[in-house]
A and B are shown apart, each in its own frame.
Chain A
């Protein structure tokens, strides 16, 4: 069974929710968990919940990088921060993967500091999963979007490599035999979007072993046309935040309307099961987290607001990625490219 290092102090609700999530993993699975952070805080939290001590180790870390800290400065100043120590433990082979719900910038920098980049990869990518419409029975309800912020601007080769990494990850984790890969662009034509995107289009079209379906536009993102969507970090981040913001606004609007108007309230009550399903679908806790791809080690970045459920799922995803050899799969695909 793999050992997963978990940054116990990272996230808005750390360490309580992180520890509860890991405790749940320990009673549900055989995954070995290595919690990194304030030993006594972690232990106190553990003792309040049902857990299996045989599957939980604690490694002390004296410092914490806060969600509002400037990542570069924090990583430089707080050398004993939980996320850095957790990444170091993975790099030194004492754990197989990292899970953190902490500061995203610090998580990416921690990986960059301690993990080795897969041979041939120029830039690593932060992926995110988001819910979308399904087009056929059995299609995964979640799509993978990358990059969402690790690399602000990209060159053609970076986008091609992101496509290969995303495809390999989806193949292993979503169990889609041949994931549909698309470029996020401002039009479906091959020449749209400038030389970088057009170049990526041409290269991806000619690559064997990748199911490239062309360009998709913003309105296709949630329609399920593609399983893996590639874009540069700046755009990916804007898209991700827009999706999250929209979901929150819709829920808020519904709540406000139902408070102000009894007909709305009645309507919402009648739609309760549908709203519940929608909420489940957009519940980030259900998918736990998304990978930072391109390193020889696996890192899963969970949402900053992660609850115990999200952490449980993130640890399971990390363990699955380890068992399924995602970095090896990516290395093999990149090797073909080189």
Chain B
């Protein structure tokens, strides 16, 4: 037990660790529909008012900043996109309209790639994103924790995992070189990445990587990335998981839920099912899920669960088995060793797929 000397200043509590939220833009923050060159041209000429944010995402970002600042943490929000800087004005206006405070946006200079004849770089984003992440990290407080947000369209799980493992000291230069070379990243960018890898104190800086399942990719496909990667089907699930992580409060989750109900045609049943799903997949501990459920039900934002009048006589063993099954997946923060060679062997650049339908109250579709 420490003793205070008379007249000496009391020990100062350690300053909270700064926190960084890094967001992809297209298909993560924005519901961008591009499947052809025509779509890309159309997007280039879109106004801020034409751009649609994904349901609940703006509320989530605002909630993350508010809660962490209230906790005395230094908060930074960055956007990283492979879109060209030419659409920067519309994006900045859109973020302003949505009330998003941010600390930086990085665009990909596609014009430069065109001029230099690096046509492959137009579609290859791994090298670009990894370089920019590492470059930006050098300007951040060394102990700052990071939460990364991407989607299942391109290479976000791979880029973010590589970034996390570079900062964690889990991958060496040779491995990074092999991985980037195997997926045909521009050698200039590979050299940049190798150079930027040095100078970081190894640590578990990246706490979670959230992948927005915009294409409804089966979540099991992300198991090889370990428990650090959390695939979510909507931003209510993301908010619930972040609540479990302790970086968002119930008020923040409530704001996201309310937005989905009021603006995006969700129902309390849909939210109830979403919460149960993210809990079953092990990305939210039952205790945290229980607290959330209770609070959201009190506000009538989610529907009650199904119960039968007669209590099922599930054996104690059965209940324990269910609990352990979950606990096995709820993966703490221990980093999983990712087999990058296997990932690269299966690597396929994303192809356009039919966009998943957005839930809407009035679609009227059915059997």
- Name A residues whose Cβ lies closer than 8 Å to a Cβ of B: 1, 3, 27, 29-32, 34, 39-40, 43-44, 47-62, 79-80, 85, 88-89, 92, 94-95, 315-317, 319-320, 323
Most B Cβ at <10 Å: residue of A48, A49, A53, A317: A53
Contact B216 A52 (CB under 8 A): yes
Contact, CB under 8 Å: B280 / A88: no
- The interface residues of chain B lying within 8 Å CB-to-CB of A60 are 312, 314, 322
Closest 9 CB pairs of A and B: A316-B367, A53-B277, A54-B270, A62-B314, A47-B220, A43-B280, A80-B312, A47-B219, A319-B367
* Residues in A neighbouring B237, C-beta threshold 8 A: 53
Question: Who on chain A is nearest to B312 by CB?
Answer: A80
Whether B233 pairs with A61 at a CB distance below 8 angstroms is no
- Find out whether the CB atom of B281 lies under 8 angstroms from the CB atom of A43: yes
Residue-wise, chain B 302-331 has the 8 Å CB interface mask toward A (1 for contact) of: 000111111011110010011001000000
Partner of B314, one of A1, A80, A316: A80
A-B contacts, 7 listed (Cβ < 8 Å): A32-B273, A54-B233, A54-B271, A89-B306, A315-B367, A317-B367, A319-B366
Beyond A32-B269, A40-B325, A47-B218, whether A58 also contacts B367 by CB under 8 A is no
CB distance from B321 to the nearest CB of A (A): 8
Query: CB within 8 A of A56: which of B234, B273, B281, B318?
Result: B273
* A294 smallest CB distance to B (angstroms): 23
Nearest CB in chain A: distance from B257 CB, A: 12
Residues in A with CB closer than 8 Å to B266 are 54
Flag if B234 contacts A54 (CB, 8 Å): yes
Q: Is B352 an interface residue (CB 8 A)?
A: no
**B356 on the A face (CB < 8 A):** yes
CA distance A51 to B220 in the complex (A): 12
Q: Which residue of B lies closest to A315 (CB)?
A: B367
Residues of chain A lying within 8 A (CB to CB) of residue B273:
32, 53-57
* Given known A-B contacts A80-B312, A80-B313, A53 and B233 have beta carbons under 8 A apart: yes
A167 and B312 CA atoms in complex are apart in Å by: 38
Query: Nearest chain-A residue to B282 (Cβ)?
Result: A43
Q: Which residues of B contact A323 (CB under 8 A)?
A: 366-367
Given contacts A43-B277, A50-B218, A79-B313, 6 further A-B contacts (CB under 8 A): A53-B233, A57-B305, A60-B322, A80-B313, A94-B308, A315-B367
Bound Cα distance from A61 to B219, whole angstroms: 24
Q: Is B274 an interface residue (CB 8 A)?
A: yes
Q: How far is the CA of A55 from the CA of B276 in the complex (A)?
A: 11
Contacts A53-B233, A89-B306 given: A31-B367 contact, CB under 8 Å? yes
Interface of B, secondary structure class, is: loop
Known: A48-B220, A54-B266. A34 touches B367 (CB 8 A): no
Neighbouring A residues of B274 by C-beta, 8 Å = 53-54
Are A1 and B366 CB-contacts (below 8 A) given A88-B308, A88-B310?
Answer: yes
- Nearest CB in chain B: distance from A122 CB, A: 28
Q: Is the CB of A58 within 8 A of B280?
A: yes
Closest Cβ of chain B: how far from A170's Cβ, in Å?
A: 17
Distance (Å) between the CB of A55 and the closest chain B CB? 7
User: Are B220 and A29 interface neighbours, CB within 8 A?
Assistant: no
Instruction: Find residues 220-251 in chain B having any chain A CB closer than 8 Å to their own CB.
Output: 220, 233-234, 237
Q: How far is the CB of A90 from chain B (nearest CB, A)?
A: 11
| Chain A residues whose C-beta falls within 8 Å of the C-beta of B217 in the assembled complex | 50
What sequence of 0s and 1s flags, for each residue 199-212 of chain B, a beta carbon within 8 Å of any chain A beta carbon? Answer: 00000000000000
Q: Which chain B residues lie closer than 8 Å to A49 at the CB level?
A: 218
1/0 contact trace for B134-166 toward A, CB 8 Å? Answer: 000000000000000000000000000000000
Query: Are B280 and A62 in contact (CB-based, < 8 A)?
Result: no
**Chain A residues whose CB sits within 8 angstroms of the CB of B2 once the complex forms:** none
Nearest A-chain residue to B313, judged by Cβ: A80
Q: A43-B281, A53-B273, A62-B318 are in contact. Are A92 and B308 (CB under 8 A)?
A: yes
In the bound complex, do residue A58 and residue B218 qualify as a contact, i.e. CB atoms below 8 Å apart?
no
CA of A59 to CA of B321, assembled, Å? 16
Q: Given known contacts A31-B367, A39-B280, A40-B322, is B216 in contact with A51 (CB within 8 Å)?
A: yes
Chain B residue contacts of A95, Cβ below 8 A: 306
Contact of B365 among A30, A50, A52, A57 (CB under 8 A): A30
B71 within 8 A of A: no
Q: Which residue of A lies closest to B237 (CB)?
A: A53
**Residue among B274, B276, B306 having the largest count of chain A Cβ atoms under 10 Å:** B306
A59 B270 Cβ-Cβ under 8 A: no
Residue numbers in A under 8 Å from B73 (CB-CB): none
Identify which of A32, A50, A57 contacts B276 (C-beta below 8 A): A57
Q: Is B170 an interface residue (CB 8 A)?
A: no
Say whether A48 contacts B218, CB under 8 Å: yes
- Taken together as a complex, chains A and B put the C-alpha atoms of A32 and B309 apart, in Å, by 21
Which chain A positions have C-beta within 8 A of B271?
54
Q: Chain A residues near B314: list those with CB within 8 A.
A: 60, 62, 80
Distance between A92 CB and nearest chain B CB, rounded to angstroms = 6
A32 to B269, CA, bound (A): 9
Q: Which residues of A contact B322 (CB under 8 A)?
A: 39-40, 60
